[in-house]
C-alpha cells in the first residue's frame, strides 16, 4: 500500500489498474487527458507531454505506473513519438527528481515485430516493424537509461490486451460475429496469437511495482491457441452462425491498408503486419520473480469481452481509442454483404 500515480489511468487498461490498486488499499492519483470522474481517485487532467504537469503529479508519490500511450489506432507518427517517447522521458525525469521509489513502465509486444522464433523471452532482442513498435522500443531504452542512472524502473510488456470493456479494433470483430457474418482470418489462421486479460496484466504491473530492483517482464496468457482456435471458440459461444473464413494474407494486407488509407476502416500498420503472425511470450520470469500467474485463457477473454460488448453496445461512445468502438465505415457494408 502506498501513494501511487497511474498515468493514463482513465483509459481502458488504466482504469482496470486503478480498480485493483484501490481494492488493495493504495492511495491513487491519476494523470490523464480525461478525468476518471471517480470520487476515490485524485484526478490530474493533463497531457503527459506537459513536463510541469507531470512534475506536479509525481510530487509525494511512492510508485509511478506509467501507462500513457498513443496506441496504434492513432496513425500520426509525430504524435506517436512525442507521447510514447518524450512523454515517457517526462515521467522518468519527474520521478527521478521527485525521489519516487519505483516506476513501472507498460511497454508492448510490438517492440518484437514479427519474431524470428517463438516463444519470445526477456533476452530476445527488439525488432520493431512499424512506428508504434519503434516508439515503444525507444521508450524502453529511456527506461533502461534512467535505471542506469539510479531510478528503480521495471518494464512490463503485455501481449494484446483483452477483457470486459475493451473494444477498439475488437469492435470490428464483435460486430461481425453479432451479425452472423463470416469472421476473416489472415491466411490459415494457424498463427499462435497470445492475448492477456487486463486484470492479469494489472496484477503483473502491481507486483512489479512491489518488487524492488529493475526488471523486465513479458506478460501473456498461458492457455492460448491459434488465431483460428480463439475465433472459433467465440463463434461457437455466440451461436449466431458466424464461422471463421480464411483470406490470403497478401490481399488481406492490401485490403486493410487500402481501406485504412482512404479512411474507411480503422486499421494501422500494426494490425495488417502482425495479426497473421505468431508471437507468444515465455512468461517464466514473471512467474518466478513476481509470483504472477494468469487467470484467463484466450477463449475466456474473447467471450467475456464479447458478452460485455453485447450488454453495453448502446452506451459506449467517446473515451479513448481502446474503449470507444472505432468507426466501422466500410466494415458495416462488409457485414451486410457477407452476412445472412
Partner 1 sequence: MTDLAPSDTVVVTGAAGWLGQNLVRALGDRGRVRCLVASRDEVSPLELVSPSVEVVVGDVRDPATADRLLDGIGGDATVFHAAAIIHPARKVRDLFDVNVGGTQLVLDRARRAGVRRFVHVSSNSPFGANPTPVDRFDERSPYNPYMAYGRSKVEAEGIVRRSHERGDVSAVIVRPPWFYGPFQPERQSQWFRAVRTARFPVVGDGSQRRSMVYAGNLVHGLLRAEVAAAAPGRAWWIADPEPYELREILETVRAALSAEGLEVSGSLRSVPRLVGVVAEKVDGLLQSRGLYQQAVHVLGELKDTIACDVTAAQRELGYAPATTLLDGMRASIRWGLERGMQF
Read off the DSSP letter of residue 193: B
List of residues 6+ apart from 133 with CB closer than 8 A: 108, 110, 111, 112, 113, 126, 270
- The answer to whether residue 141 forms part of the interface with partner 1 (CB under 8 A) is yes
Binding footprint of partner 1, residue count (CB under 8 A):
27
- Footprint of partner 1 on 283-312 (CB under 8 A): none
Nearer to partner 1 among residue 134 and residue 296 (C-beta): 134
Which of 71, 73, 92, 170 lies at the binding interface for partner 1 (CB under 8 A)? 92
Spatial CB neighbours of 198, under 8 Å, sequence gap ≥ 6: 12, 13, 16, 161, 162, 163, 164, 165, 166
Does 31 contact partner 1 by CB under 8 A? Answer: no
- Choose the binding region for partner 1 from 20-28, 124-132, 279-287, 302-310 (rule: CB under 8 A): 124-132
Shortest gap between Cβ of 202 and partner 1 (angstroms)? 26
Residue ranges in the chain assigned as alpha helix (H): 12-23, 51-58, 77-81, 87-98, 131-148, 170-178, 198-210, 227-238, 249-261, 269-274, 284-290, 298-312, 330-338
Q: How far is the CB of 145 from partner 1 (least distance, A)?
A: 6
Binders in 44-83 for partner 1, by CB under 8 A: 49, 51, 81-82
- CB–CB of 245/184 below 8 Å? yes
Q: Choose the stretch contacting partner 1; rule: CB under 8 A; options: 10-18, 36-44, 88-96, 238-246.
A: 88-96
Q: Does 107 bind partner 1 (CB under 8 A)?
A: no
Nearer of residues 51 and 316 to partner 1, judged by Cβ: 51
| String of DSSP letters for 226-262 | BHHHHHHHHHHHH-SS--EEEE-HHHHHHHHHHHHHT
Query: What is the radius of gyration, based on Cα positions, of the chain?
Result: 19
CB-based burial label for 283 (10 Å; 0-12, 13-18, 19+): buried
Exposed/middle/buried for residue 49 (C-beta within 10 Å: 0-12, 13-18, 19+): middle
The region of 19-27, 140-148, 226-234, 263-271 touching partner 1 under the rule CB under 8 A is 140-148
Candidate residues 9, 115, 126, 163; the one interacting with partner 1 per rule CB under 8 A: 126
Site for partner 1 in 147-176 (CB under 8 A): 149
Name which of 65 and 94 has its Cβ closer to partner 1.
Answer: 94
Is there binding between residue 212 and partner 1 (CB under 8 A)?
no
Closest separation between CB of residue 297 and partner 1, Å?
Answer: 30
Alpha carbon of 205 to those of 27, 181, 263: distances in Å? 16, 37, 35
Cα 127 to Cα 252: distance, rounded to the nearest angstrom: 23
Taking CB under 8 A as the criterion, the residue among 38, 56, 96, 192 binding partner 1 is 96
Stretch of residues binding partner 1 (CB under 8 A), selected from 145-153, 164-172, 173-181, 299-307: 145-153
Q: Is 120 in the site for partner 1 (CB under 8 A)?
A: no
Question: Given the C-alpha cell 482513465, which residue does it identify?
Answer: 10
List interacting residues with partner 1 (CB under 8 A). Answer: 49, 51, 81-82, 85-86, 89-90, 92-93, 96-97, 111, 113, 125-128, 133-134, 137-138, 141-142, 145-146, 149
Amino acid at each position: 500500500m502506498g501513494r501511487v500515480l497511474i498515468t493514463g489511468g482513465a483509459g481502458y487498461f488504466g482504469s482496470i489498474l486503478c480498480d485493483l490498486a484501490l481494492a488493495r488499499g493504495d492511495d491513487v492519483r491519476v494523470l490523464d487527458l480525461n478525468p476518471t470522474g471517480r470520487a476515490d481517485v485524485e484526478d490530474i487532467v493533463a497531457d503527459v507531454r506537459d513536463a510541469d504537469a507531470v512534475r506536479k503529479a509525481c510530487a509525494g508519490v511512492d510508485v509511478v505506473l506509467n501507462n500513457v500511450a498513443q496506441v496504434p489506432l492513432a496513425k500520426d507518427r509525430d504524435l506517436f513519438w512525442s507521447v510514447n517517447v518524450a512523454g515517457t522521458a517526462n515521467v522518468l525525469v519527474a520521478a527521478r527528481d521527485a525521489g519516487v521509489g519505483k516506476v513501472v513502465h507498460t511497454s508492448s509486444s510490438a517492440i518484437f515485430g514479427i519474431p524470428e522464433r517463438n516463444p519470445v523471452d526477456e533476452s530476445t532482442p527488439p525488432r520493431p516493424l512499424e512506428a508504434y513498435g519503434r516508439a515503444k522500443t525507444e521508450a524502453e531504452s529511456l527506461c533502461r537509461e534512467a535505471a542506469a542512472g539510479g531510478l528503480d524502473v521495471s518494464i512490463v510488456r503485455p501481449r494484446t490486451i483483452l477483457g470486459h470493456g475493451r473494444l477498439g479494433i475488437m469492435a470490428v470483430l464483435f460486430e461481425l460475429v453479432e451479425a452472423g457474418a463470416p469472421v476473416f482470418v489472415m491466411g490459415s489462421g494457424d498463427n499462435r496469437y497470445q492475448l492477456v486479460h487486463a486484470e492479469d496484466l494489472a496484477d503483473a504491473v502491481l507486483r512489479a511495482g512491489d518488487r524492488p530492483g529493475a526488471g523486465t517482464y513479458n506478460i501473456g496468457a498461458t492457455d492460448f491457441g491459434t488465431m483460428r482456435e480463439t475465433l472459433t471458440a467465440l463463434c461457437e459461444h455466440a451461436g449466431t452462425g458466424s464461422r471463421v473464413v480464411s483470406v490470403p494474407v497478401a490481399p488481406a494486407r492490401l485490403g486493410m491498408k487500402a481501406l485504412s488509407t482512404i479512411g474507411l476502416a480503422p486499421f494501422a500498420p500494426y494490425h495488417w503486419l502482425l495479426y497473421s503472425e505468431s508471437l507468444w511470450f515465455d512468461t517464466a520470469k514473471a512467474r518466478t520473480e513476481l509470483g504472477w500467474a494468469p487467470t484467463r485463457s484466450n477463449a475466456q477473454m474473447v467471450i467475456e469481452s464479447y458478452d460485455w460488448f453485447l450488454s453495453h453496445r448502446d452506451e459506449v461512445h467517446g473515451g479513448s481509442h481502446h474503449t470507444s468502438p472505432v468507426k466501422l465505415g466500410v466494415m458495416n457494408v462488409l457485414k451486410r454483404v457477407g452476412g445472412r
